[in-house]
Structure 1
């Protein structure tokens, strides 16, 4: 095994680096080498879809399944540490299923040429490895976690019962995450709805001039009317992406069976968790505000919200919709080969934004807010 003191390869840059760097150039043969060596009993690998990383589904002889993740080289070590640590935290505290973290088998790693133990902020770790692909180049960080059973989140029914279930699960998760924190959650992050003003340099990626102008107007209003009060809202680490892609549902499509992908976690107002989840469910409903109310109702069954949180919910719904419109258009232009996957929710987000925005804009002139988060 190579020396463990070598710093891991990183790509420096601004908050956009993670979204402009291609997934690692690895093959199925690379995945099979890592799986068979580092996770004993692995018998087969199959590629999975993804935007930033190269992912594989690993089947083991005992019937268990892992997700093997070759991590984008723009992801900072602290972000990888955060994702590992939250899975360890949730395994002991979360009543709804989340993937379990799978450490590396040290004997297998020792026999795997071109790889070495990971290098965490505290020193060498077996939470991931640094692997050099068969094609050569820099080592890539690789980790694994359990593959959860369940139907995809797109099977969730457009029904008040399922909307409340999403809200309840979000509240249970947030209550569990109140006891979790990590420095990486406080980073600048392009998908943080509270940092929606960072979209401005990317607006030209939106093809329609009219749509660009409306988004620019929204950002100006958000800056003056919303940004100054965000720090007054109750804040904590949140999942930050409870979209259909990141939830699993029971067969009836009414209850959640699991939560996936904690890579977008941020320290933010907890109301953003509801706004983000709601922004997706609203696009599948003929009555979007009823869907959002259902999510809020379910959340409040577990954790009541303050008046000021209610007051700013729709602000953050629109912020996430704007992100879905701009970031996806910008990334699709950079990765045209993956355009269909990247743009899968773009049109729905645009339609919902256009439906909600006129009333929201009209309300800004007469709007008043409670003086603090406890009101």
Structure 2
């Protein structure tokens, strides 16, 4: 976000008033939820239903067409068997409402939506077994395949040229590198960007295009126990980073964030890759660029978290959660190198698939 005060900071009383005026709901419980650059509230209404009140930051609220596509995508996925949230209409029948309010920074306009509440724990809170990682890769691929079938009058809004969180726009990081001045990893980030220029960019024509969720991370995937004492995916959150990209980008993003939560990060790639390829086998160009795209996402997370802390020092703990864990992983897998890491991932993906086929797999 470009504006220092773009993130909303509404009180519980203001959120309660919004719920009453926009949705005719009375709350019995309400509290804030963690968020990156929007504001989210958990809501239990007196009718017994649970919701998430989502108030977009003032910058993103300026693009209603984009938010409309994202809201439609959530419903489209839900209708096609993917556990995504859906929006509740206002009393006037709208799926979102642009409200001009003051939350401490003067009157600004904020887009407000009331989303269904999905129960479950974030995947970051449970053991990442090979089977759960396989299911995560499979779910990410299924999701993108369904999104590719979606049509909407504003679908071109997802092109999002220059969007800093799109993995296709990694080169945008160059203008933010100053936030790492004095950090040892600044040189690693520069080297990754150079490798991206020479390896990934020339491969664009051979990548398969799609619509990416764009943030399939350890806090946006919900799980709950199944009947076998394991966990299954029961929810996918936060479609705010949706963009037109490539299938391989989604896989790289998924691997990177699952690595953050695993005690042996390098082991993650094989199981996620096996799950992904059970839906969407990679072509040669995609396979050759997977490692660079994964380290590229680590670089995005590192640089943009540092930048966001400059804008919002009061939110440093949340903003740096992923980045702090990612620093050592990025350092380690960069040191191991492309050839070594790819061999681990691709060999273990084959072993994983073989063990599932012959029944020797143990989750």
Cα gap change, 1:244 to 1:179, in 2 (>3 Å): same
Q: How does 1:224-373 map to 2 (within 5 A)?
A: 224-251=198-225, 252=229, 254-360=231-337
- Is the 1:155–1:253 contact (alpha carbons within 8 Å) kept by the matching residues of 2? no
User: 2:82 maps to which residue?
Assistant: 96
Gaps of 5+ in 2: 341-363
User: 2:14 maps to which residue?
Assistant: 30
What is the alpha-carbon distance in structure 2 between the residues aligned to residue 86 and residue 361 of structure 1?
A: 35
SS in 2 for 1:30: helix
What is the alpha-carbon distance in structure 1 between the residues aligned to residue 308 and residue 261 of structure 2?
A: 24
SS in 2 for 1:46: strand
Cα gap change, 1:256 to 1:208, in 2 (>3 Å): farther
2:157 aligned to which of 170, 175, 184: 184
User: 2:95 maps to which residue?
Assistant: 127
What is the alpha-carbon distance in structure 2 between the residues aligned to residue 219 and residue 139 of structure 1?
A: 36
Q: Return the offset for 1:24.
A: 2.0
SS in 1 for 2:96: strand
User: 2:46 maps to which residue?
Assistant: 61
**Matched pairs, number:** 328
Q: Return the offset for 1:277.
A: 0.9
What is the alpha-carbon distance in structure 2 between the residues aligned to residue 268 and residue 201 of structure 1?
A: 21
SS in 1 for 2:128: coil
User: 2:27 maps to which residue?
Assistant: 43
SS in 2 for 1:277: helix
- Is the 1:157–1:253 contact (alpha carbons within 8 Å) kept by the matching residues of 2? no
Cα gap change, 1:47 to 1:224, in 2 (>3 Å): same
What is the alpha-carbon distance in structure 1 between the residues aligned to residue 284 and residue 338 of structure 2?
A: 20
Q: 1:284-321: CA deviations, max 9, x gaps?
A: 33443331110010111222222222221111101100
SS in 1 for 2:27: strand
Q: Return the offset for 1:68.
A: 1.0
- Is the 2:218–2:261 contact (alpha carbons within 8 Å) kept by the matching residues of 1? no
Q: 1:213-245: CA deviations, max 9, x gaps?
A: 221122112112221212320010011111111
> What TM-score, normalized by structure 1, do the two folds share?
0.82
- Is the 2:41–2:52 contact (alpha carbons within 8 Å) kept by the matching residues of 1? yes
- Is the 1:59–1:66 contact (alpha carbons within 8 Å) kept by the matching residues of 2? yes
SS in 2 for 1:139: strand
- Please tell me the root mean square deviation across aligned C-alpha atoms, in Å: 2.0
What is the alpha-carbon distance in structure 2 between the residues aligned to residue 177 and residue 341 of structure 1?
A: 29
Gaps of 5+ in 1: 1-15, 107-124, 364-375
Cα gap change, 1:286 to 1:129, in 2 (>3 Å): closer
Question: Which runs of 4 or more aligned residues in structure 1 lie more than 6 Å from their structure 2 counterparts after TM superposition?
Answer: none
In the alignment, structure 1 residue 212 sits paired with structure 2 residue 186 = yes
SS in 1 for 2:337: helix
1:153 aligned to which of 111, 123, 126: 123
Q: Return the offset for 1:138.
A: 2.9
Q: Which has the higher helix share?
A: 2
